[in-house]
Amino acid sequence: MKYKNIAALLAAAMMALTLLAGCAKGGAENALDLTEVNAIVQENGCKTRVTASGALKRAVNETAEWAAAYDADEVTKDRIERHMTQKLDSWNRTVGLSPRLVTAEELQAGVESASLGTVHTPEEMAAGIVLSMNDILRQVEYEAAAAQTTTRDGTVCWIVAVIYYL
């Protein structure tokens, strides 16, 4: 538990430094550490392994680039999901898609996750989605990806998506 708090604090500090350094920009910046996502998932008793496909990464990046053309209040979860679904052309084994949209400011303050409590990183958010879905579905495969973008009005946002398969 102590290491989890330290890891969350370090991740939040790195995000803050990135923002202060001016590295956040319009368009997309894919940055989801699957090693960390899997560590969190397995620490919480889930045996599944989260992977990422090129298709999901592309869909998330293209959705983040699309979101950069709008103000933050125009970019809703429904619009994100619709846009991402259009970008994913293969749904043959897919059970569902769970995208999340959160501002960097909200993440820094902490976002509630049903499975993990308060989360502060995209990795924790993705792991929380996997853990919540695994409680319901069990024995499915997961892919996760995330991208950071800056909306037209200057709001830094994260788009985190998890796809689950049979």
pLDDT digits (tens, 9 = 90+) for 8-63: 444 444 444 343 333 334 445 557 999 999 999 999 999 899 998 888 999 999 99
Name which residue leads in pLDDT, 136 or 17: 136
Average pLDDT over residues 144-154: 96
Q: Is the distance from CB of 156 to CB of 143 less than 8 angstroms?
A: no
pLDDT of residue 24: 39
Task: Give me the CATH topology for the region 2-165.
Answer: Pathogenesis-related Protein p14a (3.40.33)
pTM (2 d.p.): 0.78
- DSSP assignment letter at 73: G
Mean per-residue pLDDT over the chain, rounded: 83
Sign of the CA dihedral with 31 first, then 10, 38, and 46 last: negative
Name which residue leads in pLDDT, 85 or 117: 117
Among candidate residues 160, 124, 147, 165, the one with its CA nearest the CA of residue 68: 147
CA distance 124 to 5: 11
CA distance 17 to 79: 30
Q: Is the distance from CB of 12 to CB of 20 less than 8 angstroms?
A: no
Two tokens at 41?
Answer: 């998932």
Two tokens at 65?
Answer: 């680039």
